[in-house]
Amino acid sequence: MTQKRIRLNWWPQLLVLLAWLCAAVASSEASATSDPCEDGQLRCANNRCVPESYRCDDADDCGDGSDELGCTVPGRNCKITQHECDDGRCFPAHFICDGDNDSGDMSDERNCTLPEGRRCRTDLYECDNGRCITARFVCDGDNDCWDRSDERNCNQDATETSCGPTEFRCDNGDCITGSYECDGDNDCSDHSDERNCTNG
């Protein structure tokens, strides 16, 4: 008889504990999705925050395309991330100059001759990492290439960031812990921390 009473006495406490845990989890999930981005930032559909200047820049900075949704170019029917065929149909811009007749009228494969050694069309800027961005985003203060190559040699008045005495300065301007140089890992994202290393 005593055992039944103990089990019955624990049951309400267990229910209260479970209800409290469920409420805590729901509260933390709600606050995680409702935390605002910093001033000047855009919240992506995946809850990532990116600079507002990345909106409609013809690059998927959010990683889910939400920073490019609803963007159009004046005089065009398609979004900025799309190619407009001669017949007015729209499809993703990365299909341009890919060797396939995606448009059905070859408009996506016209004028695709690229200079030797280039991966981007001549109207685009080719980043060091191979990414192609709209040329107007070069030297605009934003890291549109993701490797900072679009912000190098821009003759800006701002002084170049200096690294601390125990840090290594990457070619892309980043500072990393000095011990990361020549450790076999690409810590700079441009491999500059792994150049001029001797194996021994």
Report, as an integer, the average pLDDT of 66-82: 70
Residue 92 forms part of a structural domain: no
Gyration radius of the chain's alpha carbons = 26
Residue 92 has pLDDT above 70, yes or no: yes
pLDDT tens profile 131-147: 877 777 888 888 888 88
Amino acid present at 170: C
How far is it, in rounded angstroms, from Cα 143 to Cα 151?
7
Residue 119 forms part of a structural domain: yes
Position 85 scores a pLDDT of 81
How far is it, in rounded angstroms, from Cα 96 to Cα 109?
6
Residue 117 has pLDDT above 80, yes or no: no
Residue 176 has pLDDT above 70, yes or no: yes
Residue 62 has pLDDT above 80, yes or no: yes
Residue 16 forms part of a structural domain: no
Percent of the chain with pLDDT over 70: 68
Residue 26 forms part of a structural domain: no
Return all residues near 102 (Cβ < 8 A) that are at least 6 apart: 83, 91, 95, 108
158: confidence class by pLDDT, cuts 50, 70, 90: very low
Residue 152 has pLDDT above 70, yes or no: yes
Position 167 scores a pLDDT of 77
Report, as an integer, the average pLDDT of 11-19: 56
Coil vs helix vs strand at 31: helix
173: confidence class by pLDDT, cuts 50, 70, 90: confident
Report, as an integer, the average pLDDT of 65-85: 72
Coil vs helix vs strand at 17: helix
Position 43 scores a pLDDT of 92
Mark whether 165 and 131 lie in a shared domain. Answer: no
Assign residue 177 the CATH number of its domain.
4.10.400.10
Report, as an integer, the average pLDDT of 41-61: 85
Report, as an integer, the average pLDDT of 26-44: 69
Percent of the chain with pLDDT over 90: 2
Tell me which residue range forms the domain holding 200.
159-200
Q: How many domains does the chain have?
A: 2
Position 132 scores a pLDDT of 78
Average pLDDT value over all residues in the chain: 74
Mark whether 134 and 119 lie in a shared domain. Answer: yes
Mark whether 122 and 136 lie in a shared domain. Answer: yes
